[in-house]
Amino acid sequence: MELELRHLRTVRAIADTGSPTKAAATLGLAQPALSAQLRRIEKALGGPLFERDHTGARPALLGELVLQRARVVLPAVSELQEEAVRFANAWGTMERFRLGGTHGPLLGGLVDRLVTAHPAAPVSTYTSWSVVEIASQLVDGRLDFALIGACGESPPPANDRLTWQMIGVDPVFVMLPDSHPLAGEQELDLSSLADECWADVPGDGCFADCFVGACARAGFSPVLVYETDTASVVHLVQVGRAVGLCRATFPPAPGLVTRPLIGSPLSWRHLLGWHPRSAAAAAASGAVSGHSRAAYTEAVERSESYTRWLAAHPRFGAAM
């Protein structure tokens, strides 16, 4: 029997979990099948790879040798596969822009600017609520650039494999119906909304936990949080069923007002990402970065109230 990558993955899984039974569950195999496979591996390599007792399985000397090589070989093969997928999906002779986004306010502006600046270049878009999904498509070379958001200082997905550049940072504002008793206030204390139901868009990351934490620091727990699409959030606020959470760049809408929270307890970073070894990054990261920053500036300028607010809060706004 020749040693295969799946055999190395089996050995590594047993070592990592300390148990053939746990390793079988991790790999999606039946425990008897994994044990039989391990016996064949040990026979092919000439000796036992693990010492077994009632506490589990520990690598024997031969097992340590195999594991040492496996921890080099397996990541290298995984990286080779990713490189091959990226190469297969890399730019050809024709310039193109494959953009991913998470329903944020900047994707439309970026598309508009790229189409204007590069009228002969195909521009395609893909959107998802999941930043993890968008990041995985960047890693695989199926997207060239991605515009996503990250809560507070939380790291973006695949931070060790992708390049992320901050475009701007906004406070999270509250969206109220214009008939709300607090709609006339210039800033709101979060505690003044303790009895409200809330509406927000879904997504990966820690924003939901950060919101609950901010409410706890303000002395209350949210009565109810509707997680739904942007249009439904707007509708629920317009009819008075909830108050909404939104980015400060949220465009004006009939029947609504947006107001900052005192102390800005929640913030949102706009990020542009790409793979550092992709053809797209080498060819156009500077241009796409510049257009993304311009799209962000335009989004800010569309809100007079946010522009005025920024003048007194210099830690927010476009990244330097």
Buried b (16+ CB within 10 A) or exposed e, 8-41: bebbbbbbebebbebbbebbebeeeebeebbeeb
CA distances from 92 to 86, 96, 100, 121 (A): 12, 9, 19, 12
- Please tell me the predicted confidence (pLDDT) of residue 285: 61
Instruction: Judge contact between 145 and 91, C-beta under 8 A.
Output: no
The residue ranges of DSSP E strands in 90-138, in sequence order, are 97-101, 123-127
- Please tell me the predicted confidence (pLDDT) of residue 96: 81
- Please tell me the predicted confidence (pLDDT) of residue 92: 47
pLDDT tens digit at each of 320 positions of the chain: 788 889 999 999 999 999 888 988 888 888 888 888 999 998 988 999 899 888 888 999 998 999 999 999 988 888 887 777 665 655 444 478 899 998 777 899 999 999 998 888 889 999 998 999 999 999 988 999 999 999 988 999 999 999 999 999 999 999 999 999 999 999 999 999 999 999 999 888 889 999 999 999 999 999 999 999 999 999 999 999 999 999 898 887 899 999 999 999 999 999 999 998 887 776 566 788 899 999 999 999 888 878 889 989 988 988 86
Distance CA 312, CA 261 (A): 14
Label residue 237 exposed, middle or buried (CB < 10 Å: 0-12, 13-18, 19+).
buried
Q: Residue 195 is inside which H or E element, if any?
A: none
Across the strands, what pairs with 243?
Answer: 198
Distance CA 124, CA 249 (A): 24
Distance CA 158, CA 163 (A): 9
- Please tell me the predicted confidence (pLDDT) of residue 280: 75
- Please tell me the predicted confidence (pLDDT) of residue 93: 42
